[in-house]
Every structure is written in C-alpha cells, then in structure tokens.
Chains A and B, each alone.
Chain A
C-alpha cells in the first residue's frame, strides 16, 4: 500500500474511530505493538532490566528504529527486527507506546 493510499485509508478509519471507542485500525496497531512485548513487556512495560518502551516519546522511538534500520545504531538484534517493519508501522507503534503510562 502506498503512503497516500494508507493515509486515506487511515482517514476513513479515523471517521469510524470517532464513532467507536475501538476501531479495527486500533486493534491492528495493538497487534503490531504486542509483538514487542516478548522482550519489552506487555504494552511496553518491561520486567527486569529490559528497556521499557512505555511512555517514551514517539519521535524518539521512531528515530531509534530508523537508526537500527539504517545500521547507524549498533545492535545485537534490533537492526534485524527493525528491517521487518515499514516506516508507517513503526510510527503507529511508536505512538502507541508513547501513550502508555
């Protein structure tokens, strides 16, 4: 899906969102973000020493993921994971984690 198409699909989803407390798009973003829980905790609230994602500014998470993707930021595993996600998916997930308190 192109950015433009995605944006317009997102616009439609937004209209539905205002009518419904929970939208399909919302569950989709939750599904994407939930994949991070295995290392970073449910809703990004990590147990033990793993880095927490909950409450981190979205822009910072997006920047980190971009740096992992480009290889600019060294990692053991995150560079391999980051390459599996589109920029739009990363932005949606980052917004989700930023909103977790």
Chain B
C-alpha cells in the first residue's frame, strides 16, 4: 500500500468516529472511567469537550467552574475601549452539558487528595476521579504590592486580567473619568498571561480617549525593559494613531499603591498619581495548583510532561494552560491553552482506553492584537515535540509577524475568536 493510500484510509476512519459522536452524547456515564477538570477556561473546557468527543462518550467528564458563563480575555480590551460589549465576549457553558454530556459543577475546588484521588469542593462535597486535569489559570501575587493586599483595595483598583466583572468595572471607571484625566496602567515582570495584551490595551483605551476624551492620556508603566511582544508594531501604532495619547515608560516596577490617593509607587522612580489605575500584578499558577503541590518551579509554575501534560509531581494529575511552566518560546495565551487541552485530551483518551499515547504532538500559536478598532497585527509560531529534549520546540522557519497592521486581519481576528470559543464551548 502506498503511503498516501494508507493515510487516506486513516483519515476515513477518523471521519467515521467523528461522525459517530456528533449525534450528541446525552449521558454522563463512562465505561472507561472518570475525569474531573478544575477550571473551564481555554484549556480546561477544551480538554473536557475533546475527551468526550475522542473517547466517544466512554470517559465521564465533570467540569468544575465557579463562573456562570465563560468570559474571554481575548477581545476584552475592545470592551475596555468601548467598541465591544460584555455580551460579545461571554459564552454559555450549556453546550458542554447538553451536546457533550459533560457534568457541569458550579463550585470551586479547595483541596485535592492525590492518594484517594478525590477533590473537595467549597460547597463541602467530595468527587472521585481516575484522572484529574488542573487548569485554574493564573493568580496574582498581591503580597508584592502591600497597598493592594486586601479585598477592599482590590475592589477599587482593577487588574482586568481575568475577564468578567473586572473588565466591566474598569470600563465604568474609564467612562466616569473626566476629560483631561490620566489612566495609568502597570505591566508586570514576565512571565505573565498574554504578553502583548497590555500594549493592545493601551491602544484601545487611547483610541477611546482620542474619540471621546481628547485631553486625556494613557501612561504605561512597564516593569520590563521594553515592549514584550510585537514591539515595533505596537510602537508604530502608537506613533501613527496615538501621538500625545500614550506615554510609555519602561523599567518602571510598581512596588506599592496608595489606593486612597490613586498613587503608584515604584522601586526607583517618582510616585505617579492618576485618575484611573489599572495595576496588573505579577502572576503565578492558580491557587489550587499550588496547594495541591503541583507548582514545582519556585512554588510558582507547574512543570509537566509535554506528551501528556501530566504533572511532574503527581501521577494521574495533568496541568494545563497558564499554570504551567511553558516550553521555550511558548507564550501564556488562550490559543496555546486550547492546544494544551487537545494534546492532553488525546493522551488521556489513549491512556484510559489502553492505546498508545500520540508521540509527535505539533501545534501552533496565533495571537492577534487590535491596534485600532479594526486594524490588527499578529505573531504566530508552530511548535513540535522534540524527543531528545522532551519538550516542545518552535519549528525552524515557521511563524512570524504581520509586516504592517491591516484590516483584513481584523476580520481574521474576529473569526479566530468566534472559532476558538466554539471549539471550546460549542
């Protein structure tokens, strides 16, 4: 048999199994065991859905998520700029239940017992698992910013780096700010979620000011020494569209905040008072990943096996998304988290149904940033498993940047958002 014929026959088989499942899986029972997923973000929801799809319903999946609906960080900067609404970035979890037979539990996991293989919920109940997927996203290191290290302060100064109420509140603060005001945002030292996100945010809020409050300005205090991603493209956008609106100051690390006077304090520079503050603290793996003993790197990030996303610290426990210590050149992005979810799903299905774990994962990262309401720039890369180094590495010659911001990619970026939301939740 020729190679092409063989591959065609494989493709046909894959098609049949995919068809078999599209009729819908109404039941939650699983003859091949049970997976519990903690966190319904880009990686967790994707893993939950794909395990159901690829096991053809043979594996039961429970997804534990405290929020009533998914709110997307990608596109949320357009909400802050006033060109999109909260409804545009919000998607229900209902399809996971109704189309894929995933048991949805609206709660928070407070403890994991890896010996008994159970998780305990804030609501008090305990759920058993055969395999656990931990995908809680990031938490903020408020302990490094004393003035923000309490609930009252955190209710006044937004990070808006987890989309939802934070996004809506920051938008209201911007709307309430009088013309002539100063919006000051801080960028943490890396690694942080979504490397280009802060610079896209500066564009979108500056655009809002330019349209509606032209005497106002955006000051970006970056703890890093330069723009972390798409630097030339963002700086060109700032020069072309937002001259006089964006003041970018690298090497400014926020060490404290006076919430009463809305003042940022830095390690070396003079204090800065503003009308609206947006402080994005340094980040680490979500709390449950740390308390479950999975954050093996500096008690901050979780190391995993890149074939299975199984934790290097605990058997039968997988960690996905922004909580992991990424491979070289692998950003903490929603797109990458979605790819983690599928790679892990393939491995989990293989392990739980007695098959060989796929040994050559390949996936891409595509990250679009809006520099105006319509114009977009991207960075892309393809990553492939390296057997010797046991990690994902960028494929030589793949990937790259947009040469120049353009409207066509504005359309593609919205296509991307619609399709990735549907891929995880549809």
A residues near B (Cβ < 8 Å) are: 3, 6-7, 10-11, 13-14, 17, 20-35, 37-43, 46-50, 58, 76-77, 80-81, 83-85, 88-89, 91-92, 94-101
Instruction: List the A residue with the shortest CB-CB distance to B358.
Output: A28
A3 nearest in chain B by CB position: B3
Closest 10 CB pairs of A and B: A84-B382, A95-B11, A99-B15, A84-B398, A24-B356, A28-B358, A50-B415, A84-B395, A35-B363, A34-B342
Could you list some 30 contacts between A and B, CB below 8 A? A14-B1, A14-B6, A21-B17, A23-B13, A26-B13, A27-B358, A30-B54, A31-B361, A31-B362, A35-B364, A37-B419, A38-B335, A38-B364, A39-B416, A39-B419, A50-B412, A76-B406, A76-B409, A80-B382, A83-B397, A84-B362, A84-B383, A84-B384, A84-B399, A85-B382, A91-B3, A95-B11, A96-B10, A96-B14, A101-B19
Chain B residues with Cβ under 8 A from A77's Cβ?
A: 366, 378, 380, 409, 412
The reply to whether A24 and B350 contact each other, CB–CB distance below 8 Å, is yes
Q: Return A43 CB to nearest CB of chain B, in Å.
A: 5
Chain B interface residues toward A at CB < 8 A: 1, 3-4, 6-19, 50, 54, 335, 338-339, 342-343, 346, 349-350, 353, 355-364, 366, 378, 380-384, 395, 397-400, 402, 406, 408-409, 411-412, 414-416, 418-420, 422-423, 426
Residues of B within 8 A of A50 (CB): 412, 415-416, 418-419
If A48-B415, A50-B418 touch, whether A22 touches B50 (CB-CB below 8 Å) is: no
Shortest distance from the beta carbon of A58 to any chain B beta carbon, whole Å = 7
Q: Which of B6, B17, B335, B383 contacts A10 (CB 8 A)?
A: B6
User: Taking CB as reference atom, which chain A residue is nearest B21?
Assistant: A43
Q: Is the CB of A92 within 8 A of B11?
A: yes
Task: Determine the chain B residues whose CB is within 8 A of the CB of A83 once the complex forms.
Answer: 382, 395, 397-399
State whether A22 touches B419 (Cβ < 8 A): no
- Tell me how far the C-beta of A47 lies from the nearest C-beta in chain B, rounded to whole angstroms: 5
Roughly how many angstroms separate A69 CA and B338 CA in the complex, as a whole number? 25
**Is the pair B346, A58 in contact by a Cβ cutoff of 8 Å?**
no
Look across to chain A and name the residue whose beta carbon is closest to the beta carbon of B422: A47
Pair B355/A31 contact, Cβ less than 8 Å: no
A38 touches B419 (CB 8 A): yes
Residues of A within 8 Å of B366, CB to CB, are 38-39, 77, 81
6 new A-B contacts at CB < 8 Å, known A30-B346, A47-B422, A77-B409: A29-B14, A30-B54, A37-B342, A80-B398, A83-B395, A99-B11
When the two chains form their complex, are residues B419 and A11 in contact, meaning their CB atoms are under 8 A apart? no
Q: Name the residue in B15, B366, B378 with the highest tally of chain A Cβ atoms < 10 Å from its Cβ.
A: B15
Q: How far is the CB of A81 from chain B (nearest CB, A)?
A: 5
Tell me, rounded to whole Å, the shortest Cβ–Cβ distance linking B106 to chain A: 24
| Residues of B with C-beta under 8 A to A48 | 414-415, 418-419
Q: Is the CB of B7 within 8 A of A91?
A: yes
Among B362, B397, B423, contact of A38 (Cβ-Cβ < 8 Å): B423
User: Is B362's CB under 8 angstroms from A27's CB?
Assistant: no
Taking a contact as CB atoms under 8 Å apart, the answer to whether A22 and B353 are in contact is yes
- State the Cβ distance, B174 to closest chain A Cβ, in Å: 29
Tell which of B1, B343, B353, B406 touches A31, judged by Cβ atoms closer than 8 Å: B343
Q: Tell me, in angstroms, the Cα distance from A38 to B353 when the chains sit together.
A: 26
**What is the chain A residue whose CB lies nearest that of B414?**
A48
Interchain nearest-CB distance for B344 vs A (Å): 10
